[in-house]
Structure 1
């Protein structure tokens, strides 16, 4: 199962379409049990996700591959403390991955990379890298020769800006994780009732939803399987609020009929206001 469970919803109320709030401990137990029974053992978290690290530490399976991310920090000693505290909160001896929560943190202070390399050499972290928002970030970090073991990028039906870099990243043995396959729920919203800032996306969303309707498929199934079917992508990070949503995503992948021609139709949609595909601009 090429799915990684995102945990931001477990520490914060997050997402433009989140109406249920933060799950209870009972709900978390159901979620993690469902993960275990379906072969999902990669969990994406971050220091910035409220108390998500503490909460999930009580439910993680023994074979869990945990990836966390550090916030902006100025000094190498502070960063090492942040990472070691994160490992401690997660009740682990080491983590599968640790990343800069934003590539800008390393662009502004490339020496922080030395801390990640050091902790990797000490077997506190297996893979190091960064989470990106723009292709310019990736180009600059690679120019600095900060070649990651793992990256996380936004990738979805209308946001495919990182596609041209996939082959090069794989040549460098980079593990590619993608997030925002549903664009934080934007794809599910009524185009006629968008928040004011997102109104310029009205026509593109209408076109996307019309294509799905004419092909008699749910937009959620199309969005998830579009990313899942990309052979360059190693993990799709999905955020869920309860067990039912997780089971829906699992069934969507298992029941996809491999009719990928709809993807070609969607790729013809031109987004004029590309900056609105970044939730930071909402």
Structure 2
């Protein structure tokens, strides 16, 4: 199963289309039960996700592959202390992955990479890496010879800026995880009532909806499978607010039966205001 469960929703109210707030403990329990039952064993969290690490700790299966991320720290000792706290909060002996929440943190302070390497050498973390926002960051980090085991990138129907780097990354045996396949819910919004700042994306969003209508498929199914069927992507990180959403996503992946020529039509869409594909610019 390529799906990985993102946990930001469990610690913060997150996403432009989220109107229900943070899920209850019962919701979280049901979500994890369904995830494990469907062989979703990779869980993505972060120190910056409110109390998400604490909330998920009691629901993690023994075979869980847990990835957490650290915010901006000024020193190795601060990073070391917080990695250890993160492992304790998650009630684990070791983590599958630990990453910089933003690649810039490492570019600005290369010594932090030494701490990550040290934790990997001590077998407290299996894989180290960074979360990226722009290809420029990736180029800078690779040039600095900070070769990760794992990276996380944004990737979605309209946001394919990292695609030209996939071959190089796989040649370096780098595990690629993608996030924002639904662009924080933007793809689900009614294009007639977009927030003013996002109106410049209206034409492209309508093109997506036309393609989905033509093939009689939902935008959610289209967005999810667009990422899952990319041979270079190892894990697709999704966030859900309840068990039904997770079940719908699992069914969307398991029941896909369309000709992949639909993706050619999507790739032909040209986005004029590409900066708006970054939620930080909303």
> Do they fold alike, i.e. is TM over 0.5?
yes
- 2:114 corresponds to: 114
- 1:35 corresponds to: 35
Q: Give the match's secondary structure for 1:177.
A: strand
- 1:127 corresponds to: 127
Q: Give the aligned CA root-mean-square deviation in angstroms.
A: 0.6
Q: Distance in 2 between matches of 1:239 and 1:212?
A: 22
Q: Distance in 2 between matches of 1:277 and 1:62?
A: 37
TM-score, normalised relative to structure 2 = 0.99
- 2:149 corresponds to: 149
How far the C-alpha of 1:258 sits from its partner, in A, is 3.9
The 4+ residue runs of structure 1 with deviation greater than 4 A are: none
Q: Distance in 1 between matches of 2:42 and 2:270?
A: 33
Matched, 1:158 2:139: no
Matched, 1:189 2:189: yes
Q: Give the match's secondary structure for 2:74.
A: coil
- 2:233 corresponds to: 233
What stretches of structure 1 of length at least 5 have no aligned partner? Answer: none
User: How many corresponding residue pairs?
Assistant: 282
How far the C-alpha of 1:192 sits from its partner, in A, is 1.2
Q: Deviations over 1:153-179 (max 9, x none)?
A: 000010000000001000100000000
Q: Give the match's secondary structure for 2:116.
A: helix
Q: Distance in 2 between matches of 1:258 and 1:126?
A: 37
Q: Give the match's secondary structure for 2:16.
A: coil
Q: Distance in 2 between matches of 1:27 and 1:159?
A: 30
- 1:248 corresponds to: 248
Alignment of 1:46-85 (within 5 A): 46-85=46-85
How far the C-alpha of 1:128 sits from its partner, in A, is 0.1
Q: Distance in 1 between matches of 2:139 and 2:111?
A: 17
Q: Give the match's secondary structure for 2:117.
A: helix
- 2:20 corresponds to: 20
Q: Deviations over 1:228-272 (max 9, x none)?
A: 000100000000000000000000001100421111011111100
Q: Distance in 2 between matches of 1:116 and 1:77?
A: 11
What stretches of structure 2 of length at least 5 have no aligned partner? Answer: none
Q: Give the match's secondary structure for 1:60.
A: coil
Q: Deviations over 1:14-64 (max 9, x none)?
A: 000001111111111111100111000000000000000000001000110
